[in-house]
Structure 1
Amino acid sequence: MSQAPSRTVVVLAAGEGKRMRSATPKMLHPLLGRTLLGHVLHAAGAVSATRTVVVVGHKADQVRAHLAEISPGATPVLQAEQNGTGHAVRIALDAIPEATGTVVVLNADVPLLRPETVEALVAAHELGGRGATVLAAEVPDPTGLGRIVRDADGNLERIVEERDALPQVRAIREINAGIYVFDAALLREALGKLTTDNDQGEEYLTDVFGLLAGGGHPVGVFVAADAQETLGCNDRAELARLRALLRDRVNTAWMRSGVSIMDPATTWIDVTVTLEPDSIIDQNSQLRGTTTVAAGAVIGPDTTLVDTVVAEGATVLRAHSIGAQVGPEATVGPYSYLRPGTRLGRKAKVGGFVETKNAELGAGAKVPHLSYVGDATIGPKSNIGAGTIFANYDGVNKSHTTVGEAAFVGSDTVLIAPVEIGPGAYVAAGSAISKNVPPGNLGVVRAQQRNVEGWTARKRSGTVSAEAAEKAQSEGAESAG
């Protein structure tokens, strides 16, 4: 059985990205669930590398911290002064002198790159026994990009940066995608021969191809099947374009897997989201983070779910949810806000203008209207009336409220935690409950009503209210007469 080849991945993420005009390093800008760097590292995962090195530079501490979160096995290497891509790769290889075999180099700003493409690129390089292979693409407008220059037989001759290209080279539409595979030993040798004799005065990694070809080593070009995969971004307008392209790719894949997306142009789904066939995503909806949606669930329109689990047959309409669990056949919305720790049981309901936080609703429990439920457990089949507030915070501590099975809380009620409403208990509308209500009891907290006779005539004389009252009193007197 042959031994798997030794492979090293080097990701170039040291650039400042001045045109982004951002305090955030360019490589850390988000794109549907991952940063630019995160997308590239995900694609690089197809290589099954022995080691991964990420070259950092601009705001290196921020990039290192992010790297520790998303890829703790990767090694950051500092390029203190950005003297070109060749310089960056040389620094990376100096940090890992044990690296042999295949070296894969990727720029960190090509988030549409597919793992399958990287895998095919590396396979073509290794099967061909090449010294170097470049990923290329045919594009309608190559402005700003390096060109692939081939010889009369169609073989790679050299890669020319646009700044250094003559007019006939600039007319070439086959471009360098900034993704390369090298033989480690040949790469180390060639990097030592690079010069800064170019328009930018930098060490170009692309010059390695010309050096290897001139030395008689085989170099090759692997053309991407989809040129969009090779698109990078230099400013926020280009980032927005990539985001839209990725949105379309993600939505198309989900629709072909059996998910109904009613308006793909207004539906944004992170690459980290999971959807089951026969789920329905209506227009103007955003699904982010680790959100999962089960079969038969309906999301939207106008809904945002972040790190939310929606079970089969549930409906979430015009709502915003973060870190919640929506149970089977439960209903949410419209205009609801589910905050972290919310858990809805089977057929539970959170209705219009309701906010929940760290709240558990049992099967069939209902909070239909205009309520706040914080730090609470609501038993199965209980009903919470309109305008109810679970007063969970006293300014220092947060306390818990429990509402038992099949309890009924009347409208405009305040439940002052910690308090417990027993199973089958009732709370009268307009009450402020601060003591437990035992099972089967009615809790009432109300002052006795008092009507002040003739108040409107005395205090609001000459108003439409006074006129209406006088008319009603006169009509009542005539009826009585």
Structure 2
Amino acid sequence: MYKCALILAAGKGKRMKSDLPKVLHKVCDKEMVNHVIDTMRKSEIENVNVIIGKGAELVKEATSNKNVSYSMQEEQLGTGHAVKCAKDFLEGKDGVVAIFTGDAPLITEATVKNLIDFHQKGDYKASIITAVIDNPEGYGRIIRNEDSSVKKIVEHKDCTVDELKVNEINSGMYCFDIKSLLKSLDKIDNNNAQGEYYLPDVIGIFKEEGLKIGAMAVPFDEILGVNSRVQLSAVSKVMQRRINEKHMENGTTLIDSDSTYIGADVVIESDTIIYPGNVLQGETVIKTGCILYPNSRIQDSVIGKNVTVQSSVILESTVGEDTTVGPFAYIRPESKIGNKARIGDFVEIKKSTIGDNTKVSHLTYIGDAEVGEGCNFGCGTVVVNYDGKAKHKTVIGNKSFIGCNTNLVSPVKVEDNTYIAAGSTITNTVPEGSLAIARAKQVVKEGWVDKKGLLK
């Protein structure tokens, strides 16, 4: 059976009070619309069309790597109008279309698959995802016949007194037979309190034509949508709980799950221990056996086996096995740290390679550099990589010892097995096996303080 999906993502979301389109607000480090697209992919729906309107170019940019097509809804005249705007996408297709909203990111892969299976096995022309809740205020109601079959969907503002008492609500998520949907779209009108074209009105048209309609109830948290920052927070908490529980079930220890923030695409292998206050983002991979002590941020990085990180920031970089980072280290993008290395407190690494077994223990900056294996950096070393106009590279060979308070003025090369005396400013190549001393000779002027009258 052919399957495709429409994602409604045209609204601005006035209640968000934001210049950013509503569907681009993030839940657990991923835009809401991208959560929905990824769920479609996991549900084996490859052909996805996103209906865009307000902030269309921003939505396109945020979804550019998702291999989706787009339909434009110039005016936001309701969900039925949105689907009408996607008629060109649907024309000529024979099968089913799943319709979801880009501001409801909690829908699961299992529910999407179950919906399509339910739709197919029941031989329905339309299937509705519903939920039963105690307080249905603001939601469209599912009105059933005495035999429990679906009679119609009524928007909250159009409900009668009796219909308002119904606790089964419409999620705004559906599965339709494509050909039947296309035939009915032109029949819906805007004769309602909002003056909009409602997609649920298609259900009434189907009923009049004697077409079979199904409704599948799911847990309420799966259909939670976002219309405000308060709702965004509520949805984020549900997503955070799901993500953290998944990692714990897969063998990760979270000391305090409620204060650990893990992005939707983060991969964590077993036997890693994560303390409170850690923020893991993007396509980060944490290998087995790591310990992340409190208050680190790691984004789009690969952390090797048995690494310890303390209160540090690691961005778009890789850290080798059995390495320690921090506390208060800053590893900036495009850095590669080797195995059994040490990146200590108040060390900043920028776009550099650090070899295996190299120790950069404290108060050091290394930028645009290639550092070999087995090196040792004394406190206060600075790679001076910027001349005011351009960045330059420093190369440091294996087993070099860089004394405290050294300046390495790029471009410069320090060869293997070299020593640099503390307080040196190195501007020329240091040959292999050499000791470099580049500082002014000490001069002592005895009695100078007394002569100047500086004694207090």
Q: TM-score, structure 1 length as denominator?
A: 0.92
Q: 1:82: which partner in 2? A: 76
* Aligned-partner Cα distance in 2 for 1:136–1:458: 92
- Structure 1 partner of 2:159: 165
Candidates 176, 180, 189, aligned match of 1:182: 176
Once the two structures are superposed, residues 400-454 of structure 1 have per-residue CA deviations (whole angstroms, 9 ceiling, x without a partner) of 1122211111000100111122211110000000011111111001212223333
Report Cα offsets for 1:197-246 as digits up to 9, x if no partner: 1100111100111221232211111111x221110000111111111111
> Could you tell me how far 1:186 is from its partner in structure 2?
1.6
**Rounded Cα–Cα distance in structure 2 between residues aligned with 1:95 and 1:420:** 60
Residue identity opposite 2:16 in structure 1: M
Inter-partner Cα distance in structure 2 for 1:442 and 1:215: 92
AA of the residue aligned to 1:218: K
Change (3 A) 1:280 1:460: farther
Partner Cα separation in structure 1 for residue 293 and residue 167 of structure 2? 43
Give 2:321's aligned residue: 328
Indicate conservation of the 8 Å contact 1:408/1:425, yes or no. yes
Aligned match of 2:26: 30
* Contact 2:407/2:426, CA 8 A, preserved across alignment: yes
Question: 1:115-134 to 2 correspondence within 5 Å?
Answer: 115-134=109-128
The one-letter code sitting in structure 2 at the alignment partner of 1:9 is A
Pair 1:98 & 2:86 matched: no
Question: CA-to-partner distance for each residue in 1:53-98, whole Å, 9 max, x for gaps?
Answer: 21111121222222323x22x2111111111111111221244411
C-alpha separation in 1, matches of 2:446 and 2:135:
84
Does 1:378 pair with 2:374?
no
Deviations 1:331-382 (A, max 9, x none): 1000000011211111101100000012111111011010000111222111
- After TM superposition, the structure 1 = structure 2 runs for residues 230-249 of structure 1, keeping only pairs within 5 Å, are 230-249=223-242
Q: Partners of 1:207 and 1:96 in 2: how far apart?
A: 19
Deviations 1:157-194 (A, max 9, x none): 11111111123222222111111011112212222211
Distance 1:251 1:122 in 2: 28
1:356 aligned partner, one-letter code: I
1:453 partnered with 2:453: no
Tell me which amino acid in the other structure corresponds to 1:138.
Answer: V
Q: Which runs of 5+ in 1 are unaligned?
A: 468-481
Task: Name the counterpart of 1:474.
Answer: none
Distance 1:460 1:117, change over 3 A: farther
The answer (yes or no) to whether the contact 1:6–1:50 under 8 Å persists in 2 is: no
Q: Tell me, in whole angstroms, the C-alpha distance in 1 between the residues paired with 2:238 and 2:338.
A: 37
Structure 2 CA distance, aligned partners of 1:150 and 1:384? 74
SS at match of 1:167: coil
Distance of 1:325 and 1:59 partners within structure 2: 35
Q: Which has the larger radius of gyration?
A: 1
Partner in structure 2 of residue 109 of structure 1: 103
- Which residue of structure 2 aligns with residue 147 of structure 1? 141
SS state at 1:27 partner: helix
Verify the 8 A CA contact 2:99 2:175 in the aligned structure 1.
Answer: yes
The aligned counterpart of 1:281 is 274
Secondary structure of 2:368's counterpart equals strand
Cα distance in 1, alignment partners of residues 352 and 115 from structure 2: 50
User: Which structure's residues are more often helix, by fraction?
Assistant: 1
- Alpha-carbon distance in structure 1 between the residues aligned to 2:107 and 2:404: 55
Measured in 1, the distance between the counterparts of 2:338 and 2:6 equals 47
Distance 2:49 2:352 in 1: 44
- Establish whether residue 317 from structure 1 lines up as the match of residue 310 from structure 2: yes
Decide whether aligned partners of structure 1 residues 382 and 43 sit closer, same or farther in structure 2, where only a CA change above 3 A counts. same
The 1:369/1:106 distance shift into structure 2, 3 A limit, reads same
SS in 2 for 1:170: helix
Contact 1:308–1:325 (CA under 8 A) maintained in structure 2: yes
2:248 paired residue number: 255
| Deviation larger for 148-157 or 250-259 | 148-157
Looking at structure 1, the residues matched to 351 and 88 of structure 2 have their Cα atoms a distance apart, in angstroms, of 51
Residues 269, 403 of structure 1: CA spacing in aligned structure 2 closer, same or farther, 3 A cutoff? same
Q: Which runs of 5+ in 2 are unaligned?
A: none
Matched-pair identity in %:
36
Name 2:216's counterpart in structure 1.
222
Please report the RMSD computed on the Cα atoms of aligned residues, expressed in angstroms: 1.5
Contact 2:363 2:379 in 1 (8 A): yes
Amino acid across the alignment from 2:356: A
Judge conservation of contact 2:40–2:46 (CA < 8 Å) in 1. no
- Decide which of 341, 349, 353 is 2:346's aligned counterpart: 353
Question: For structure 1, which segment, 333-342 or 213-222, has the greater mean C-alpha deviation from structure 2 after superposition?
Answer: 213-222
Give the secondary structure class of the aligned counterpart of 1:420.
strand
Whether the 8 Å CA contact 1:319–1:336 is kept in 2: the answer is: yes
Which residue type is aligned with residue 112 of structure 2?
V
Distance 1:378 1:249, change over 3 A: same
Given that 2:273 and 2:290 are in contact with CA atoms closer than 8 Å, whether structure 1 keeps it comes out as yes
- The residue type equivalent to 1:230 in the other structure is I
Partner of 2:7: 11
Matched residue, 2:199? 205
Give yes or no for the alignment of 1:45 onto 2:38: no
- What is the count of residue pairs matched by the alignment? 456
For the Cα contact (< 8 Å) 1:47–1:122, is it kept in 2?
Answer: no
What letter corresponds to residue 372 of structure 2 in structure 1? G
Matched, 1:302 2:295: yes
Q: 2:62 matched to 1:66?
A: yes
* Superposed displacement of residue 458, structure 1: 5.0
- Opposite residue 302 of structure 1, the aligned amino acid is N
Cα displacement (A) at 1:459? 4.7
- Paired with 1:208 and 1:65, the residues of 2 have a C-alpha distance of 32
